[in-house]
A and B are shown apart, each in its own frame.
Chain A
Amino acid sequence: MTTLNVRASAHRKIIGAVFAVPALALFGLFAVYPMVRVFYISLFDYDLTSPPHWVGFANYGFLWHSEQFHQSLEATGFYLLFTYVPAVLLALLLALGLDTKLPGSGFIRLLYFAPVAMSWVAISVIWRLLFQPDGLLNQVLGTHTPWLTSAKSAEWALVIASVWKETGLFLILFLAGLSRIPRELREAASLDGAGAFRSFRYITLPLLKPMTAVVCVMAVIRGCQSFSPQVVLTGGSFKTQVVNLYVYKTAFENARMGRASAVAVLLFFALLMVTMLQLRLFRSGER
């Protein structure tokens, strides 16, 4: 009886381990291996078809002096700051107003959520129409801004379209965060005579902190990954060649796989640091 049990449990362990194999095989081949390779390739001059040529840290040295790379960092910084700070703040304000069960609130939420379900390329095609020199935006504003064809406005055009697209996502998350705060807590505060602002500052905001941390990390990562709106709206011209587009062009238009990998490595460390920093900031504030 006991030997049977032991054999059965050993058998069960093997089957259990086998269940994890498909996912682990895919991760190993398509995530872990490329992650190791990206460090390795960044030390080579490599065009995919001829054998890689060792160059040490020359790719990183090139980036240090590359005007184009610096501009891509600036473009990403601008996009990140002016898209995601307003989008997150707007989402937070909307969430406070939409956190109600009044009739029609579900429909109103849906109006803001809808862009989340639309693909980036499709909404960029749509916004391209609005940004035409004689397009809707200029008609509404009474201006004649060449939105997509001037260095002064192209980056703002991207910001406008992206805030419209991204606010709904953060709104979903803030609403989920608010729904986890017990209603009694806020009602107790209002009975104690705390005004709307004080109850927000001292009750809602602290309790919303974990979700805010998630939203901020997500915002930075999404901002650094941006690619489609730049491709469709500006093609990367007029100061909108963000880092990800720079990597793409370096690797696949100029066949500099090594140099592109070096940017990817830097991007990886930047994202890692930002994530750690944000999580630490939000955690220390909690105590």
Chain B
Amino acid sequence: MTDVLKRPPVAVSSATPVRRRRRRVNVRAVVLYGLLLPGGLLFASVFVYAVLSALKPADEVLSTHWWPSRFVWSNFTLPFTTVPFARYYLNSVVVGVAVTLLNVVTCTLAAYSFSKFSYRGRTLLYLIVLATMMIPLEVIYVPLYALVFKLHWVNSFAGLIVPAGTSAFGILLMRQSINGLPDEVLDAARLDGAGEMRILWRIVAPMMTAPMSALALVVFMTTWDSHLWPLLVGSDDGHKTLPVGLAAMQADNAGATGIPMLVAAAVMAVLPTLLLFCFLQKRFVEGITMSAGIQ
């Protein structure tokens, strides 16, 4: 009897939160699987539809059927035979890799300098770097083009690569990480007689691979996407990158017959960054978040 009298209060106080939490979990699951999953599939269906369209015969590309009646794999080879698509691809890879390497090197060096050395003018220089973040390419590209024109860098890889060779956000991103590096480690190496270059190469760089790769991914993705600047300084066939080449192909193939080939070219153009993103999602998210947080 006493047991029965005692039980209810205990049971109530312990059961309510449990029940509430379970209900919350269920609501979350319903929202996730019932709403967000279909929504996500709808989002992704655009790309799936593009891939399927790229495999269709030209006369089916506007039909209501998603599935091709036969797979026309030649749509994927046509860009290579009708336009120098391999060249555009190679150019994009060369420019993307070069800009990325340059950024990682210049940003790491500058960040290390601003973080671990004291010299006159350091703060002022750092503030100037911060201020350049307020200067988007869209504001300065007219005089920048005039400068590159005078340097005879129009239609050259130098023009495509060098002006994009460093970034303020990269310096800030690297600086945040290098700030966390204890000075004692560097001083100990100096006492052992290591030179500054050796310390940078053997101690700083190996400890900074995580922020370096986050920076590299963001820079590579941005460069791969870049359209306006390559259009200005790399408009001949030898220097067109994928975005410039694709936009030109689009302009030349207004009719429906060219659509499957164009879409195939677009699908091939997004694959490298899309695959990188899928496999290195965590690093990408880190890089994007850090670069945004800095701005």
Q: Which residues of B contact A85 (CB under 8 A)?
A: none
Cβ proximity bits B123-147 to A, threshold 8 Å, 1 near / 0 not:
0010011001011111111111111
Beta-carbon contacts under 8 Å, A198-233 to B? 214-215, 217-218, 221, 224-225, 227-228, 231-232
Q: Which residues of A contact B128 (CB under 8 A)?
A: 24, 27, 32
B270 CB to nearest A CB, Å: 4
Complex A-B: 21 CB contacts under 8 Å: A12-B117, A14-B119, A20-B109, A24-B110, A24-B125, A27-B132, A37-B147, A105-B32, A108-B40, A111-B43, A112-B43, A117-B274, A122-B242, A122-B267, A132-B62, A190-B24, A196-B27, A232-B246, A244-B228, A264-B139, A264-B141
CA distance A129 to B255 in the complex (A): 11
Cβ proximity bits A15-26 to B, threshold 8 Å, 1 near / 0 not:
111111011101
Chain B interface residues toward A at CB < 8 A: 17, 20, 24, 27-29, 31-33, 35-37, 39-41, 43-44, 46-47, 49-50, 53, 61-62, 64, 105-107, 109-110, 112-114, 116-119, 122, 125, 128-129, 132, 134-147, 149, 162-163, 165-166, 168, 171, 190, 196-197, 200, 221, 224-225, 227-228, 232, 242-244, 246-247, 250, 256, 259, 262-263, 265-267, 269-270, 273-274, 276-278, 281, 284-285, 288-289, 292-293, 295
User: A228 and B20: CB pair below 8 A?
Assistant: no
Q: Which residues of A contact B117 (CB under 8 A)?
A: 12-13, 15-17, 19
Q: Which residues of B contact A114 (CB under 8 A)?
A: 43-44, 47, 274, 277-278
Cβ proximity bits A255-287 to B, threshold 8 Å, 1 near / 0 not:
001001100110110011001000000000000
Other than the given A22-B105, A97-B28, 9 more pairs (CB < 8 A) read: A19-B110, A19-B113, A20-B110, A20-B114, A23-B129, A190-B20, A215-B292, A218-B295, A275-B134
Q: A20-B113, A173-B288, A252-B232 are in contact. Are A108 and B32 (CB under 8 A)?
A: yes
Beta-carbon contacts under 8 Å, A100-125 to B? 100, 102, 104-106, 108-123, 125
User: B270 and A118: CB pair below 8 A?
Assistant: yes
Q: Which residues of A contact B44 (CB under 8 A)?
A: 111, 114
Q: Is A35 an interface position by the 8 A CB rule?
A: yes
Q: A35-B135, A110-B281, A173-B288 are in contact. Are A41 and B107 (CB under 8 A)?
A: no
Q: Is A31 an interface position by the 8 A CB rule?
A: yes
Q: Which residues of A contact B293 (CB under 8 A)?
A: 214
Q: Which one of B28, B109, B147 lies within 8 Å of A22 (CB-CB)?
A: B109
User: B250 and A232: CB pair below 8 A?
Assistant: yes
- The closest CB in chain A to the CB of B285 belongs to A172
Q: A30-B162, A227-B228 are in contact. Are A214 and B36 (CB under 8 A)?
A: no
Q: Which residues of A contact B47 (CB under 8 A)?
A: 114-115, 118, 126
Interface of B is mostly: helix
Q: A32-B132, A112-B43 are in contact. Are A17 and B113 (CB under 8 A)?
A: yes
- The closest CB in chain A to the CB of B40 belongs to A111
User: B62 and A135: CB pair below 8 A?
Assistant: yes
- The closest CB in chain A to the CB of B151 belongs to A29
Q: A27-B128, A98-B36, A108-B32 are in contact. Are A16 and B289 (CB under 8 A)?
A: no
CA distance A131 to B277 in the complex (A): 27
User: B259 and A129: CB pair below 8 A?
Assistant: yes
- The closest CB in chain A to the CB of B33 belongs to A104
CA distance A135 to B276 in the complex (A): 30
Q: Which residues of B contact A102 (CB under 8 A)?
A: 28-29, 32
Q: Is A4 an interface position by the 8 A CB rule?
A: no
5 closest residue pairs by CB, A with B: A16-B117, A111-B40, A117-B277, A37-B143, A23-B110
User: B196 and A15: CB pair below 8 A?
Assistant: yes
